[in-house]
Amino acid sequence: MQIAVFGAGSIGCYLGGCLAARGATVHFIGRPKVKEAIERRGLTLTDWQGRKDQVFIDDINFYTSPEGLYAADIIFVTVKGTGTQEAATSIKQHAKKSALIVSFQNGIRNGQLLKDSLPGRDVLTGMVPFNVINDNNSHFHCGTEGKLCLETLHGKEKCVADTLTKAGFSVELKDDMTEIQWGKLLLNLNNSINALAGIPLLDELQDRNYRRVLAGSISEALAVMAAEGITPQRLGKLVPTLIPKVLNLPTWLFQIVARAMLTIDPKAKSSMQEDLTLGRMTEVDLLNGEIILLAQKHGMQVPINEKITALIKDAEKAANGSPKITGKSLWDAVSAQKSALP
């Protein structure tokens, strides 16, 4: 069985690298600079629990074009959501029709977009809960905990789940991924705040001002989800509706509660912060933007998510990396918006 990773960035290289380290044949498809780094140094995969896997140069198949799709029996799509349609076109042109396609992407639309764009093909929606740090394009470090989730499809998901399990991943199978995706989106609302802060996730969450902004963003999201009839599923030990209350706790108490619920590596940062650093377009429209769209549908106001989205777009245009907005400044900016902040 051969596997292609379409979108060999942080998540793609980590998933594919861990599979290759355990003997799977993996074809990576990504950017030239990542190919150059990996072909010079190989792949190193580590995590917060002590994993250390190495894939040597001779065992790596890396492509900068879709030709790496030809032989694949399983295709993991890990491109940014902004590139999903282009990825679907490449799969249609270059992959065999029997290949099983798995979307391991942020947001709630990518799996369905692939299904709609690739009629007659087997497409599964998946979810990656953890954060991966890219160190010089050849060392990828998983900095947070969580189980992969995978949609069921008449038993066809089992070969994917077995392959991932053999590589050391925990996998949960789900008949319906909708509530899982919305639960993940709630947590991903911190991606934009972390990108604006420009500091590690752990440092950001020690600042109550950043947490208050995140609490407000999540509260708006929960309100519009309720209006839509969506009940987001929890991905960790905390019920989604309680997240804003926990975030608003005094820092000393938050540290105690958070320590019992979530492990975060001190080096972990959001992928959106990495996008700003590298001058790439972010996925803000697929995260905070989804909350804005739902609010518009129901005639509701979500000024915190609108402000955060506007600040990210300003940072994209400036192309100077993270604006490194302090917690106090960010709180002041969103407090000026008309919203019932928690």
∠113-114-119 over CA atoms, to 5°?
Answer: 110
The pLDDT, as a whole number, for residue 284 is 98
* 47-102 tens-digit pLDDT: 988 999 999 999 999 999 999 999 999 999 999 999 999 999 999 999 999 999 99
Assessment of whether the complete model's pTM goes beyond 0.75: yes
Confidence bin at 338 (pLDDT 50/70/90) = low
Tell the residue number behind the tokens 């420009």, with chain if given. 198
Q: What is the pLDDT of residue 259?
A: 79
Domains of the chain plus CATH, in order, are: 2-175 (3.40.50.720), 179-335 (1.10.1040.10)
Mean of pLDDT values over 154-179: 95
Q: With 90 as the cut, is the pLDDT of residue 266 above it? A: no
**Residue 43 — left, alpha, or beta (φ > 0 → left; ψ -120 to 50 → alpha)?**
beta
Distance set, CA 204 to CA 132, 176, 208, 213, 266 (Å): 17, 33, 8, 11, 10
pLDDT score of 340: 44
